[in-house]
Structure 1
Amino acid sequence: MIIDRIERLPRYFSLHPRIETAFQWLRSNNICAIAPGYYSIQGEDIKIKIQRYTTVPTPERKIEVHSRYMDIQCMIRGNEQFGYLPPERIEQPGIYDPERDIAFPDGTCDYLTLAEGSFFIAFPGEAHQTKCMRNKPEQVVKAILKIRVQD
């Protein structure tokens, strides 16, 4: 997992060739003006999910993990707490849904703040728990870049 500021995302282009294309799309669009939903940037290889929501208490959120896609979760407006669960600490892997590329494992996360203007990268196999409130519920706008890294 990587956490950094959105303006420093170009440092990570070498991790996968599709990251640069996704970043250019993110920077050339006003995310706050786009309706929530999924959008294709480059077929199934690069997608973006725009979200607007209010953060909730941590116990209300499931932990999730992906196998084929890397998540680059970019906090456009607001702040949230998110959990990170490394693969070696997953207690039960959960049932994998290949159509949605998601499973809901069990384990105990470590928590960090995803501040406005920041992003985190979760590679396949790195579980994460998002939309969690810090001290109180907060309205957020987030863009999740979904980069296919495995077929």
Structure 2
Amino acid sequence: MFYSNIGIAEKYNYLEEKFKKGYQWLKETDILSLPEGSYPISGEEVVANVQEYTTVLADQGFFETHEKYFDIQYVASGREQFGVCKREGLKVKERIEEKDLIFYEEPLHSGSVLLEEGDLIVVAPEDAHKPRLVAGEPCKVKKVVIKVAL
């Protein structure tokens, strides 16, 4: 897992070219003007998914992981609490193979990161994450989830 702000993300230059393409797209794109939807960045290897939603209480969200992709989750506006924990040892609740999604039962212990405008977090297949959570009061969030193929 890697947590940062877009302003310094490229400082950590140890990642593959695919990640750099995602960071570049985030920096150069007027995300706030984009409608929700999917935007190819580099074929099917790197795809941006623009989302808009209102944050929810923690008991309304679920931890999830992906088998085929890393996520770069970037908050363009708003703020959310973002749950994090290791995938190892979690009990599977549901698998949705066609969407590369695995949901888990709530773990006994987990942490969270506050994501505010301009913040991003990179989650690997080994990282369970629980996005879209209220940070204080419910608020509208515009987020980009960049899917980076393994």
TM-score by length of 2: 0.91
Match in the other structure for 1:104? 103
**Residue 24 of structure 1, CA deviation:** 1.5
**Residue 141 of structure 1, CA deviation:** 1.0
User: How many equivalent residue pairs?
Assistant: 148
Correspondence 1:91 to 2:70: no
Q: 2:40 is paired with a residue of what secondary structure?
A: strand
Correspondence 1:130 to 2:101: no
Which whole-Å deviations, capped at 9, do the CAs of 1:73-98 have from their partners, x for residues lacking one?
A: 0111111001002123x431344333
Q: 2:64 is paired with a residue of what secondary structure?
A: coil
1:112-123 to structure 2, matched below 5 A, reads 112-123=113-124
**Residue 29 of structure 1, CA deviation:** 1.1
Shift in alpha-carbon separation, 1:57–1:146, aligned structure 2, 3 A: same
Match in the other structure for 1:57? 57
The code of the aligned residue for 2:143 comes to K
What CA distance in whole angstroms lies between the structure 2 residues aligned with 1:148 and 1:57? 30
**Residue 54 of structure 1, CA deviation:** 0.9
What CA distance in whole angstroms lies between the structure 2 residues aligned with 1:66 and 1:87? 10
What CA distance in whole angstroms lies between the structure 1 residues aligned with 2:98 and 2:12? 28
Higher mean alpha-carbon deviation, 36-45 vs 127-136, is at 36-45
The code of the aligned residue for 1:42 comes to S
Long gaps (5+) in structure 1: none
Which whole-Å deviations, capped at 9, do the CAs of 1:22-80 have from their partners, x for residues lacking one?
A: 11222221000000111211121000011111111111111110111000101111110
What CA distance in whole angstroms lies between the structure 2 residues aligned with 1:24 and 1:74? 12
What CA distance in whole angstroms lies between the structure 1 residues aligned with 2:102 and 2:126? 10
- As a proportion of its length, which structure holds more strand? 2
**Residue 15 of structure 1, CA deviation:** 2.0
State the percentage of identical aligned residues.
Answer: 29
Judge conservation of contact 2:65–2:87 (CA < 8 Å) in 1.
no
Judge conservation of contact 1:13–1:19 (CA < 8 Å) in 2.
no
What CA distance in whole angstroms lies between the structure 2 residues aligned with 1:23 and 1:91? 30
